Copies of this chain bind each other. A is one copy, B any other.
């Protein structure tokens, strides 16, 4: 069902918090959430509707893009964001509808064969130096503006900014990375009849870059992949009638929420600074998304204790958030990142929804095992926003 036909506006406030990668697995019998001393979260869970959500599907481990799309109610299998677009967002390039974004590697070519796909992982400083030179020497190709931004080590991002809007189909060009060393680079071939123009500009860029880099020992070639344009996605305003903003320290998440039409507020620091900003802008929006990143980072590092401490730190700020008294407070993760696995995982994610219209009394704490006892059950991530809207009385009755 298209939920937008049921939307009714009102003055309720929704605070939507993603504790990135919060779900975990037991080490010595207890998960990160079960180990953390978090009196405020546990107390909130006791009076909230709790449950678990499945980010993409049973057994499927989501990347950050699909993980966030799901909890925001956008089917991650329908809205796939191109790799180039995600990379550009992560590097804080302000993508426009006229852009094609491409992930690039510096690489080493010899006698027509790629001998090192990552140019020996050149230092980031060298990357910045080379990307600056390329930027200066290649401003535009056939009237298309060339935008370059260095990433880490051998990675950089290329944006082709056309004069007219670019449809997703028009960006579909084949990766040039042969994926194995000792093979020649591939041509940026158009993958359909509409992408010939983008392929041609890409080819010219590769040749010009090759000429400029020819005297480099390692980084004497560039490989291009993940050609993509901004997907056409209905905004939060269009889909839900919500004036929404996002509070996130990391550019990637600002980028994702910008795709959905949220106002992306810039903030430096960590949880403290984010919560301060939340309080400051609280009155200006219907929906405020707060993204807490470092819980996931500790999980990815396999740092169980660090992840526990970060959860405890978040807990200490929870009273400042609950004292705002939003009609709906939602707390969950975009996926699980068990320290045991040192990576994102496929496991369901604990979910807590505080509103005046829940049963409560079913979960003793905000943990995986206690949320499994909750009234929400195990739901697809894409159903979370519908529950949030219902609990803020923003959905009309369906049918007579």
For A390, what are the chain B residues with a Cβ–Cβ distance below 8 Å?
Answer: 58-61, 345-346
For A25, what are the chain B residues with a Cβ–Cβ distance below 8 Å?
Answer: 357-359
A188 within 8 A of B: no
For A63, what are the chain B residues with a Cβ–Cβ distance below 8 Å?
Answer: 397-400
The number of chain A residues with a CB under 8 A from chain B is 61
User: Shortest CB–CB separation between residue A346 and chain B, in angstroms?
Assistant: 4
User: Shortest CB–CB separation between residue A321 and chain B, in angstroms?
Assistant: 23
Let me know if A344 and B60 touch, CB within 8 A.
Answer: no
C-alpha spacing A239/B372, complex, angstroms: 31
- With A63-B398, A77-B1 as given contacts, are A383 and B6 in contact (CB-CB < 8 Å)? no
A296 within 8 A of B: no
User: Shortest CB–CB separation between residue A65 and chain B, in angstroms?
Assistant: 5
Let me know if A62 and B397 touch, CB within 8 A.
Answer: yes
C-alpha spacing A25/B65, complex, angstroms: 36
Let me know if A59 and B389 touch, CB within 8 A.
Answer: yes
Q: Mark A1-43, 1 if CB is under 8 A from B, else 0.
A: 1000010000000000000000001100101000000000000
Q: Mark A45-66, 1 if CB is under 8 A from B, else 0.
A: 0000000100011111111111
Q: Which of A74-93 contact B (CB under 8 A)?
A: 76-77, 80-81, 83, 86-87
A120 within 8 A of B: no
User: Shortest CB–CB separation between residue A109 and chain B, in angstroms?
Assistant: 26
C-alpha spacing A220/B81, complex, angstroms: 57
C-alpha spacing A221/B56, complex, angstroms: 54
A208 within 8 A of B: no
Q: Mark A376-400, 1 if CB is under 8 A from B, else 0.
A: 0111000100111111000111111
By CB atoms of chain B within 10 A, which of A31, A60, A358, A387 has the most?
A: A60
Let me know if B59 and A398 touch, CB within 8 A.
Answer: no
Interface-facing stretch out of A151-159, A243-251, A257-265, A360-368: A360-368
A341 within 8 A of B: yes
